Amino acid sequence: MMKYLELYKGRGITISNAKDQYAWDKDGNKYLDLHAGYGVAFLGHRNQKVVDYLKKQLDEVMALTTAFDTPIREEMLKELDPLKPDDMPFVFLLNSGTEAVEFSLKIAKKLTKRKKLIAFKNSFHGRTAGSLSVTWNKKYREPFEPLVGPVEFLDYNSLDSLKAVNEEVAAVIVEPVQGEGGVIPADHEFMKAIREITREKGALMIVDEVQTGFGRTGKVWAYQHYGIVPDVVASAKAIGGGFPVSAVFLPNWIAEKLEEGDHGTTYGGNPLAAAAVTAAAKVLKEDSVPEQAATKGDMFIKMLSEELEQYKIVREIRGKGLMIGIDLRVNPGLAIKVIQDEKVLSLKAGLTTIRFLSPYLITKEDMEWALDATRKGIIATESKANSS
């Protein structure tokens, strides 16, 4: 019998249905999903507007390249316009976050005619060759080297480390909040310093908003917390409302320097992807999603902090909006398992962090459910640590 290649550790449950912020296993048990497919389901599982747009598009045209115009792409551009990153009127659709990063790196090398890239320790940008080259985790990267380079990894949130950015650098790529690395928000001074030194040295500032973008942190784009405007924004996950799609946003001065053939994609920008992005953009505006994420995120972080910081193994609770990390002093594996046993789905970040990527639909009652589950997970972990 055919077998699926297991490259992810199984969670031991079979999910048969999901809606909004909830999922159900094959036995009918209900879960609060704060994993959300690595954050893809930020607008909720099977968001009705996204589903309706996809169904309608399926009845019209499904497979078509962007060499042909389509009404849904025009509608998508109209809906995205008020949400686009500052001064970036151009967008190019791809299929995944790693592809968006790949294209961004190619743009930097073409425009600057330089080869060197700067990334940061604990960064995660993807698993294909280019994006993997700027991903810090050696477990992911080293078995496949040599990759794309040269790449230098600097200390995140270190102003002093930015002295390494010089006239040989094509781009500095940065996450406004490191997700895989431990849910670590960038400092204001750090982001501003990156913007200043890249301008000074003629390098591009690429902001990786694959996980942070499209409302999750309380702004449409997380870089907007910092009062800067980058050169390139790479986005994915939430922007498709659950459908696999990514986007690279560009200003005029970059778009006008790109030529036919500089990049390509068979599936990118297909009508279904355009329909999903159109619907997601409508939801973001009509439901004031970034504002909800900001308010609910503040509430959730406050609840977690008040109840959990009393435990010795809890080092810090941090995040922006509904991108939240509970950093422990030990491996969080047992805590995540207990949390799942309590019917709440979460995921690991970095070496010691429990990560919540909540759909914006989360309620106060959901937060209390998650808090109770997390408390039990931390107590079990602390008990084990004390007995060993």
Per-residue pLDDT of 225-268, as tens digits, reads 999 999 999 999 999 999 999 999 999 999 999 999 999 999 99
List residues forming the annotated binding site for pyridoxal 5'-phosphate. 97-98, 124, 208-211, 266
Q: Provide the annotated binding site.
A: 97-98, 124, 127, 208-211, 265-266
User: Averaged over 42-56, what is the pLDDT?
Assistant: 98
Token pair belonging to 292: 């909800």
- What does the alpha-carbon distance between residue 193 and residue 60 come to, in Å, rounded to a whole number? 48
CATH homologous superfamily, domain 15-33+288-387: Aspartate Aminotransferase, domain 1 (3.90.1150.10)
Annotated binding residues for substrate: 127, 265
Q: What pLDDT shows up at residue 322?
A: 98
pLDDT attached to residue 247 = 98
Q: pLDDT by residue (tens digit) across 126-174? A: 999 999 999 999 999 999 999 998 999 999 999 999 999 999 999 999 9
- pLDDT for 386 equals 85
Each domain of the chain, given as residue ranges in start order, spans 15-33+288-387, 48-286
Residues 63-85 have a mean pLDDT of: 97
In this predicted structure, what is the pLDDT of residue 228?
A: 98
Q: What pLDDT, in 10s, does the model give residues 306-362?
A: 999 999 999 999 999 999 999 999 999 999 999 999 999 999 999 999 999 999 999
Measure the CA–CA gap between 81 and 62, rounded to whole angstroms: 24
pLDDT confidence bin for 387, thresholds 50/70/90:
confident
Residue 388: is its pLDDT beyond 80? no
Please give the model's pTM, rounded to 2 decimal places: 0.97
Residue 8: partners with Cβ closer than 8 Å, 6 or more residues away: none
Architecture label for domain 48-286: 3-Layer(aba) Sandwich (3.40)
